[in-house]
């Protein structure tokens, strides 16, 4: 599906259907041609309200305002509504409040993200017949628009949306097909296509590095662990950023076995790793002047005769010992070693992203990522980037009392808290124990357990994987330059 910009007026553009966003209760706007019909059909002119008039070749979508996120969601709703029709070419005016570039980028992302539908394993996959969307420079406010920079914004939207949809694809993959080895093969392919360098460390290399926590989680799996290290290094790099992602391709909970319902959707436990792969791909294609390193810890948390056990004591790469009190708190063990590995070189920022805790959903709800760290300013910058990108995020604050709950009597630290409360924060504090003192102000942790995977569509996101974290981190990387 292609998005094209035209300097023609809407009436002069050939298309199978025109999409019209109706703001608030403004049925009298010049773009609304069917006020009488809309009233007869009791069209309420509210967000998420949509009415297709096939005989008129028009579709009306209610929208609260013309801010970027509203435009994104309205465009996604329009696409989901019309995707199963035989319509192939859509046309629409340019909608924006103050910034036409932001408006066209948001609309384009909405169309491209809203068109996503995972059909790989359907014997008769549904087809999206939309081939082209034409955006006219004729606009809601009838302002004269310079369109030379708008095409660039459409291109950016295409790159970012393609990366988000790529992540959705790999997170939606069944765990028997997306194994740690398959994940590394995908990373190799994308590295080649995106001019990235890649290094993959297997079990022997991890043993030499002393990654006892990562290796313990992997022990019961029939698939060897894979530490995937990708680099994007432009000549004119102004900053160096390290991204670390949790790549549990499947999580049974280990010997602290999840209940049956809790095991469903655990293919999404590599959502953080998928996100940083998508981010480095997008940054390479956008040619941003920043060096990015993406480090993925890929493994399964399985059960078997060699499974690691509650009461085991593990030694991480930095020499710190960990008492295992729950084998279902495995992602933080993998990340602990990956964070140690990631700090071997100097950098400006290090951010890890993971589907880490159900507790983050208790704190912030199921659509919102949790941001944590020792540097409050950095957390707020990530929060602002989330809002700008259209993702939802909230900050969970550290305090001096919670680390005491991770105390162990026989090791340096326990892998779970002694309290059921504040579980997302204590998980973040656990990771903070593996950040060197000199790097603590450079580090942030993002828990995407809430928005990474849902059984219903929401906003620009489909049923299943959302690609959470990609838009947020691309926007944040832009902001640090």
SS3 content of the chain, % helix, strand, coil (to 5): 35, 20, 40
Portions of the chain given CATH number 3.40.630.10 = 160-480
Nearest to residue 314, comparing CAs of 418, 436, 429, 216? Answer: 216
Q: How far apart are CA 456 and CA 75, in angstroms?
A: 18
Say how far apart CA 297 and CA 375 lie, in whole Å: 25
- Name the active-site residue from 231, 233, 258, 387: 258
Interhelix angle 100-114/150-172, nearest 10 degrees: 30
Q: What percent of the chain is modeled with pLDDT above 70?
A: 100
pLDDT at 65 over 90: yes
Q: Active site residue: 168, 246, 267, 332, which one?
A: 332
Token duo for residue 292: 């990015």
pLDDT value of residue 145: 82
The CA–CA distances, whole Å, from 3 to 107, 130, 360 equal 10, 10, 37
What is the DSSP code string of 358-417? THHHHHH-TT-EEEE-S-HHHHHHHHHHHHHHT--EEE----SSGGGGG--SSSSEESS-
Question: Which of 18, 80, 12, 26 is CA-nearest to residue 54?
Answer: 18
Residue 325 CB neighbour total at 10 angstroms: 17
Tell me the residue length of the chain: 481
What's the predicted TM-score (pTM) here?
0.97
For residues 308-315, average pLDDT: 98
SS3 191: helix
Mean pLDDT rounded to a whole number for the chain: 96
Find the mean pLDDT for residues 265-277: 98
Question: Which residues of the chain does CATH 3.40.220.10 include?
Answer: 2-144
Residue 25 has pLDDT above 80, yes or no: no
Would residue 332 show up in a list of annotated catalytic residues for this protein?
yes
Q: How far apart are CA 356 and CA 271, in angstroms?
A: 10
CB 254 within 8 A of CB 443: no
**Coil, strand, or helix at residue 441?**
helix
Q: Please tell me the CATH code under which domain 2-144 is placed.
A: 3.40.220.10
Contact 241, 477 (CB under 8 A): yes
What pLDDT does 340 receive? 98
CB atoms under 10 Å from CB of 403, counted, come to: 17
Instruction: State pLDDT tens for residues 107-147.
Output: 999 999 999 999 999 999 988 899 999 999 989 888 888 78
Contact yes or no for 452/268 (Cβ under 8 A): yes
d(CA 86, CA 362): 42
The per-residue pLDDT for range 155-165, each reduced to its tens digit, is 999 999 999 99
Categorize the per-residue pLDDT at 481 as very low, low, confident or very high, splitting at 50, 70 and 90.
Answer: confident
CA–CA separation, 295 and 276 (whole Å): 8
Q: Out of 43-47, 112-116, 129-133, 206-210, pick the least confident.
A: 43-47
**For residue 389, is pLDDT > 80?**
yes
pLDDT interval class at 98 (50, 70, 90): confident
Q: In the annotation, is 219 catalytic?
A: no
In CATH terms, 160-480 corresponds, of 3.40.630.10, 3.40.470.10, 2.40.110.10, 3.90.1170.50, to 3.40.630.10
Is 8 strand, coil or helix? coil
pLDDT-based confidence at residue 197 (cuts at 50, 70, 90): very high
Q: What is the pLDDT of residue 149?
A: 86
CA distances from 240 to 236, 246, 289, 348, 375 (A): 11, 20, 10, 5, 18
Please state which of the ranges 5-14, 19-28, 40-49, 300-309 shows the lowest mean pLDDT. Answer: 19-28
Give me the pLDDT at residue 312, please. 98
Note the pLDDT of residue 26.
Answer: 78
């Amino acid at each position: 599906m292609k998005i094209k910009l035209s300097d023609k007026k809407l009436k002069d553009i050939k298309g199978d259907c025109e999409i019209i966003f109706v703001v608030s209760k403004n049925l009298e706007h010049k773009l609304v041609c069917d006020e009488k019909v809309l009233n007869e059909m009791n069209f309420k002119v509210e967000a998420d309200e949509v009415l297709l008039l096939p005989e008129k070749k028009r579709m009306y979508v209610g929208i609260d305002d013309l801010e970027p996120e509203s435009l994104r969601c309205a465009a996604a709703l329009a696409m989901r509504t019309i995707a199963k029709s035989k319509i192939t070419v859509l046309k629409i005016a340019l909608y924006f409040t103050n910034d036409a570039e932001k408006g066209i980028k948001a609309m384009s992302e909405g169309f491209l993200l809203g068109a996503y539908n995972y059909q790989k394993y359907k014997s008769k996959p549904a087809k999206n017949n939309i081939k082209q969307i034409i955006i006219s420079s004729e606009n809601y406010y009838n302002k004269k628009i310079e369109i030379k920079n708008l095409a660039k914004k459409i291109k950016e939207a295409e790159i970012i949306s393609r990366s988000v949809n790529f992540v959705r694809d790999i997170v939606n993959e069944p765990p028997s097909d997306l194994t740690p080895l398959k994940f590394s093969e995908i990373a190799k392919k994308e590295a080649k296509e995106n001019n990235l360098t890649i290094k993959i460390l297997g079990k022997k290399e991890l043993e030499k590095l002393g990654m006892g926590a990562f290796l313990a989680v992997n022990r019961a799996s029939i698939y060897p662990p894979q530490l995937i290290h990708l680099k994007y290094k432009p000549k004119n790099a102004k900053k160096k950023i390290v991204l670390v992602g949790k790549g549990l391709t499947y999580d049974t909970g280990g010997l602290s076995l999840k209940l049956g319902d809790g095991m469903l959707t655990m293919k999404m436990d590599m959502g953080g790793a998928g996100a940083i792969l998508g981010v480095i791909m997008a940054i390479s294609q956008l040619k941003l002047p920043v060096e990015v390193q993406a480090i993925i810890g890929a493994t399964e948390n399985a059960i078997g005769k060699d499974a690691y056990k509650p009461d085991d004591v593990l030694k991480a790469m930095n020499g710190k010992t960990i008492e295992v009190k729950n084998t279902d708190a495995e992602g933080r063990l993998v990340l602990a070693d990956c964070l140690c590995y990631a700090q071997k070189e100097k950098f400006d920022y290090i951010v890890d992203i993971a589907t880490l805790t159900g507790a983050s959903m208790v704190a912030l709800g199921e659509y919102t990522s949790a941001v944590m760290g020792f540097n409050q300013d950095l957390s707020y910058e990530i929060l602002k980037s989330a809002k700008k990108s259209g993702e939802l995020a909230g900050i969970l604050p550290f305090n001096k009392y919670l680390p005491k709950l991770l105390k162990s009597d026989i090791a340096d630290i326990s892998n779970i808290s002694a309290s059921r409360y504040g579980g997302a924060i204590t998980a973040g504090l656990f990771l903070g124990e593996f950040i060197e003192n000199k790097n603590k102000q450079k580090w942030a942790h993002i828990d995407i357990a809430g928005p990474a995977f849902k059984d219903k569509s929401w906003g620009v996101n489909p049923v299943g994987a959302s690609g959470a974290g990609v838009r947020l981190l691309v926007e944040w990387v832009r902001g640090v330059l």
